[in-house]
Structure 1
Amino acid sequence: MAGHTKWRASSVKRLREEAAGDLDYEQAGLDLRLGDMVRERRLELGLTQAVVAERAGITQPALSRLEGGGGVPTLAMLDRIARAMHTTFTIIVGEDAAA
């Protein structure tokens, strides 16, 4: 859960300093949201981390770190994880006008 710890620490720092544009804070938040999306989809499908990891050719601890926001996967790894769950992920790069 290193991502959660990093995000919380950055969140406290951001609130305390009211610093706009803290890149560490923003990146940690993105990492957490990506991990949450992967976890939510896996749980919707009723799959365990072990099953998805084996199908994707990665270790269960690596998938756990990703779901916890503690790592940034390559696009190839995300593709393998999506295929392991027979699903797709849509990734928007840059600012989303709808957000």
Structure 2
Amino acid sequence: MAGHSNWRAYREKRLREDAAPHPEYEQAGLDLRLGDMIRERRIELGLTQALVAERAGISQPALSRIEGGAGIPTLAMLDRIAKAMHTTFTITVGTDAAA
């Protein structure tokens, strides 16, 4: 995939018209939402990227990439990030087939 700007353009197009889903863009959207949730919680707690990264044992640029949707944390790393912020993340995998 070429980058977030392409996903954002695709998202805007989908909002304006009924465009067919594209698997790579759908995955990018999930990646961005995960990063957004981490960033929003960090800001809500008044923590800096540098502090959270240090506590989690990762670099600040790595945390920045995760928050920006360009880096995908492993479950272990996500757990370390949550512990660094003294918070928890609840992740739902899959979709509800009955919906």
| TM-score normalised by L of structure 2 | 0.83
> Whole-Å Cα distance in 1 between the matches of residues 23 and 86 of structure 2?
33
- How far did 1:9 drift? 5.0
Find the counterpart in structure 1 of residue 72 from structure 2: 72
- How far did 1:72 drift? 1.1
- Structure 2 SS opposite 1:32: helix
Q: Which has the higher contact order (CA 8 A, sep 6+)?
A: 1
Distance verdict in 2 for CA 1:6–1:65, change over 3 Å: farther
- How far did 1:12 drift? 6.4
Alignment of 1:23-38 (within 5 A): 23-38=23-38
> Whole-Å Cα distance in 1 between the matches of residues 79 and 71 of structure 2?
15
Give the number of aligned pairs: 96
- How far did 1:25 drift? 1.0
> Whole-Å Cα distance in 2 between the matches of residues 5 and 91 of structure 1?
26
- How far did 1:76 drift? 0.3
Find the counterpart in structure 2 of residue 18 from structure 1: 19
- How far did 1:71 drift? 1.4
Percent identity between the two aligned chains:
76
- Gap regions ≥5 residues in structure 2: none
- How far did 1:96 drift? 4.8
Q: What are the superposed Cα offsets for residues 50-88 of structure 1, whole Å, 9 maximum, x if unpaired?
A: 000000000000000000111111000000000000000
Deviates more, 1:11-20 or 1:26-35: 11-20
> Whole-Å Cα distance in 2 between the matches of residues 85 and 92 of structure 1?
20
RMSD, matched Cα: 2.4
Distance verdict in 2 for CA 1:60–1:96, change over 3 Å: farther
- Structure 2 SS opposite 1:28: helix
Q: Give the letter aligned to residue 19 of structure 1.
A: A
